[in-house]
Amino acid sequence: MARVVVVTGCTTGGIGFALCEEFARHGCKVYATSRRIETIGDFSSPTIEKLSLDVTSDESAARAIQKVIDAEGRVDVLVNNAGTIAPGPILEQSIDYVKKVLDTNTVSILRVSKEVMPHMVNRQSGLIVNIGSIVGDVPTPWNGLYSASKAAVVSISEVMAMELQPFNIQVLHVAPGGVKSNIAANASNFRLVEESLYAEYLPDILRRINTSQATESMANEEFARQVVGKALRKKQSFYTYFTLGSNSFTFKVFKWLPRVWVLRFLWKMYSKKA
């Protein structure tokens, strides 16, 4: 029986889109979701259906998951991938914007998982995949809000894994490094606030925005191949942490080094004031 997969944040050119293609290649029935369906391009597989799902709306999440349940009777795999970049000095971002980013990157994981959980519990089976980031483990300057939102995702994944054990539901936390996608393009018009204290650092901020899209960044098709391979393993641990993409090994090492040294190193790296 084909596994039923729901993926959030499937805009064309992003890793969500690539994940849908890869799950379908493995014979899964896939529901590719986005707030606006028109942002999702055409897929190569007829087993992928497009579905509207705004991860910042309780009503939209409930409606979308119920549509999948009505059609398929179950959700075997939920991939919480939707997210937004949030560059800039952390104390110069408006509180309204902070709330919006945290809702999109962090609260949304709880929102959509809450809709899927009862159905997985009823079947005593399921996998929830949360897409975090290496900067959720070690933050960088000019990306603090995004780093904070993804740091929270790490804790959410770990607690979910513990609390879902009684129901045979597994959690896979994915921490990507540099992966080719459209995420940096979403910040292509970045501007500092008027009279910013950090005007001289603007070149550094722009360089930080584009770091994940460097030449050595992993192709999103390869990212999808490896993540789907982990997700569809026959034997799953109740919790798996998986990191991949450019700089992922470096950040893994950073986690073991003295924190103050790491923070100083990262500040020097992104404060050249070119």
Which residues are known catalytic residues? 146
Instruction: Name residues whose C-beta falls within 8 Å of residue 185's C-beta, 6 or more positions apart in sequence.
Output: 13
Taking the C-alpha atoms of residue 69 and residue 6, their distance in angstroms, rounded to an integer, is 11
Instruction: Name residues whose C-beta falls within 8 Å of residue 74's C-beta, 6 or more positions apart in sequence.
Output: 4, 119, 120, 123
Burial call 151-173: b when 16+ CB within 10 Å, e when fewer = bbbbebbeebbeebeeeebbbbb
- Cα distances from 161 to residues 65, 109, 126, 156, 157, in angstroms, run 21, 13, 11, 8, 6
Taking the C-alpha atoms of residue 248 and residue 227, their distance in angstroms, rounded to an integer, is 14
Which tokens belong to 238? 């109740």
